[in-house]
Amino acid sequence: MFKHFYLVCGMFQKFQEKWKVGPVQLFIILLTFAVGGTLTGMIGRRIMNLIPVDGIVWVIIYIIVMTLIWPLMVILVSIPMGQFVFFRNYLGRIAARFTGKQKNQPLPSAEKASRVNLAIFASGTGTNARKIIEHFTNHPSIKVGLVVSNKPAAGVLDVAKDFGVPTFLIEKEEFFRGHSYIPLFREIGIDFIILAGFLWKIPPALVAAYPSRMINIHPALLPKYGGKGMYGKFVHEAVIAAGEKESGITIHYVDEQYDHGATIFQATCPVEDGDTPETLAEKIHSLEHAHFPQVIEEAILSQLVKNH
Ligand code: GRF
């Protein structure tokens, strides 16, 4: 009796570690599996009653029907259970195993004692990432070793491919509730992280793993027009609505708050009558492209000098 109890507890423990969830979430996940499975059985049987076959053909069709319905039911049940993200990732992993398509290719391992290795994090088109990669191509002491994105369709992934820079897609679950990919970044020797239009907040553990080695660019003159929800056109709309005569860019170290760490560099541009969020965005982009790569280089080199 006790032996069985311990076996079950051990099994639950293993699931919690494997899926990186707490006991309550594990309970909800198992409940979702149970309800999803029951619905699959009920609906599957009804469908089979409508199909006039028997024998081995019946068995084959039954297996196909169940295989198709099960993921659908589990995903549907996961929505009211609040576990949609978990099950989307879970089914994604199963699908990847079956199709042999892993989302991410193996990454190169750390080159010891070579150039400072940057990872660029971006969620968008990647015009800044392009400028940074171009700037550090053939640089004697700094290189871009990785482009990280949270969006499979982000243009920045194509930019990276153009330059032969490895790319890596991150998942929300692991990023926010797992190890934030810190072991992986360490393993492949990432020294600095550059945020160039990355829209997820950086988890505290990752910020702590890169103290003064994570740099962000913000399209306004911080501390104004920063913080949650202040990105892209929302920033420029707010600047224009406030009647500002000047806007610009801020390049800063990253801390645990949105757009808050120590400022490294600012540059300004005028906000003229008739400027729209789009025209202001163009001016800001020009400033970013002109300064960001250079400022990253100077910040890194000054740290190298200090550390020697
Ligand atoms: C830039 O405006 C940057 O300031 C902000 O996100 C934007 C990224 O643009 N953090 P792009 O994808 O590099 O063109």
219 lines ligand 1 (CB under 6 A): yes
Q: What separation in Å is there between the alpha carbon of 38 and the centre of ligand 1?
A: 47
Q: DSSP E strands: which ranges in the chain?
A: 116-121, 142-149, 167-169, 192-195, 214-218, 246-253, 263-270
Residue tagged active-site, from 218, 236, 252, 291: 218
Which residue's CA is the closest to the ligand 1 atom numbered 8? 197
What is the number of other CB atoms lying within 10 angstroms of the CB of residue 15? 14
pLDDT computed for residue 308 by the predictor: 66
Which residue's CA is the closest to the ligand 1 atom numbered 1? 197
User: Is 82 in contact with 72 (CB distance < 8 Å)?
Assistant: no
Determine whether 218 is an active site residue.
yes
Atom of ligand 1 nearest to the CA of 126: 12
197 lines ligand 1 (CB under 6 A): yes
196 lines ligand 1 (CB under 6 A): yes
pLDDT computed for residue 112 by the predictor: 55
CA 212 to chain centre: 21
128 lines ligand 1 (CB under 6 A): yes
Which residue's CA is the closest to the ligand 1 atom numbered 7? 197
Structure tokens that stand for 110 in this block: 């750390």
pLDDT computed for residue 52 by the predictor: 87
Residue ranges in the chain whose pLDDT is less than 50: none
What is the number of other CB atoms lying within 10 angstroms of the CB of residue 74? 22
pLDDT computed for residue 100 by the predictor: 57
Structure tokens that stand for 174 in this block: 């692991």
Edge-first strand order for the sheet with 192-195 is 167-169, 142-149, 116-121, 192-195, 214-218, 246-253, 263-270
